[in-house]
Amino acid sequence: MRPSDALAPPESELQTILEGIGEGFYAVDGDWRIRHFNGEAARHFGRPAAEMIGRGLWELFPGARDTELGRTFEAAMASRAPVRSESPSVVFDDRWLAYRLFPLGEGLGVVFRDISDRKRAEQQRDLLVAELKHRVKNTLAVVQAIAAQTLREVAPAIRAGFEARLLALGAAQTVLTEKSWASAELHDILASVARPHRPQDGGRLAVEGPPVRLHPPSAVAFSLAFHELCTNALKYGAWSTERGRVEVRWTIADGRLRVEWRERDGPTVMAPQRTGFGARMIETALAAQIRGEARLAYEPAGLRCTIAAPLSAVGETGAPPPAMP
């Protein structure tokens, strides 16, 4: 008797364990013959265990071997490494299954469960998000058309500025819509707003900071603030010269998010004689929205903007959570 045999549970005890796991389970040997087949698997496939055990997997499901799922099974058998997979059922057209494959003796153990309800919910969510994205774009287009008519007698520069701010708002809406309006990455918000403004030389914008997921209201506020900073950099600041560059860095310490926008190698900066809309929006509106502070410093070497707020007021750190299994 091998030591492993002495440790193996009796067949009746093993069957009790397999029936108690609450998920479908079957095991195949190295020749793909089914060795175990629990009650949940029998209920799913509508075939009793006695009919399945001892027969070849590909004999029972002849069309499955040439599917993506079949290739996943083959790869798991060859690699002898655990594999997780989600796949449409090869037996029932309207079902999805989540699989966990793992080496078992010379063959494979297969644990599976039906995730059809989750997949249908995800498909419904994707349809709703697509519809929301479409409606948001249409709404912004209507607002732009109304603005164009209303502001016909206004100076072109003012009208252009207003339309550009609508585009910045639209960029934030797009990022949020793609995330189902749950949150938006700070990096994605900055990238979407900076894209139409930044020079083609990608090295003239340096971005560094840990993952931060912004709540929707904060995402919109940061989008508008970044738009004002990008526009200013392009017209008067670092991006108005051939060598100027912008560095955006953020850190998290003691439960607070600190973002710094710093311009370098641009024209000498002088404080404006009056406070413009962009400065008021950043120092007043943004600060109020994030329950923090936002300060513009007109340093001769380049504009510097510092934004600080409690992390809990604007979002949370870390990568997005994995999809629910």
Asked if 43 and 184 sit in the same domain, the reply is: no
- By the 8 A CB rule, do 26 and 52 touch? yes
Asked if 104 and 239 sit in the same domain, the reply is: no
Q: Which domain holds residue 305?
A: 118-317
- By the 8 A CB rule, do 60 and 68 touch? no
Highest mean pLDDT: which range of 24-38, 159-173, 179-193, 308-322:
24-38
DSSP letter string over 271-302? --SS--HHHHIIIIIIHHHHTSEEEEEEETTE
| pLDDT tens track for 280-317 | 989 998 999 999 999 999 999 999 999 999 999 999 98
Asked if 184 and 279 sit in the same domain, the reply is: yes
Would 322 be classed as within a structural domain?
no
How far, in Å, are 114, 147, 210 from residue 190 at the CA level? Answer: 40, 25, 14
- Dist CA 319 CA 223 (whole Å): 20
| pLDDT tens track for 2-58 | 444 444 556 666 667 777 677 999 999 999 999 999 999 999 999 999 999 999 999
- By the 8 A CB rule, do 137 and 122 touch? no
Would 26 be classed as within a structural domain?
yes
When divided into structural domains, the chain yields a total of 2
Estimate to the nearest angstrom the gap between the alpha carbon of 103 and the chain centroid: 32
At 323, is the pLDDT very low, low, confident or very high (cuts 50, 70, 90)? very low
- Give the predicted TM-score (pTM) of the model: 0.54
Question: Looking at 114, 143, 175, which one is the last position of a domain?
Answer: 114
- By the 8 A CB rule, do 29 and 35 touch? yes
DSSP letter string over 36-61? EE-HHHHHHHT--HHHHTTSBHHHHS
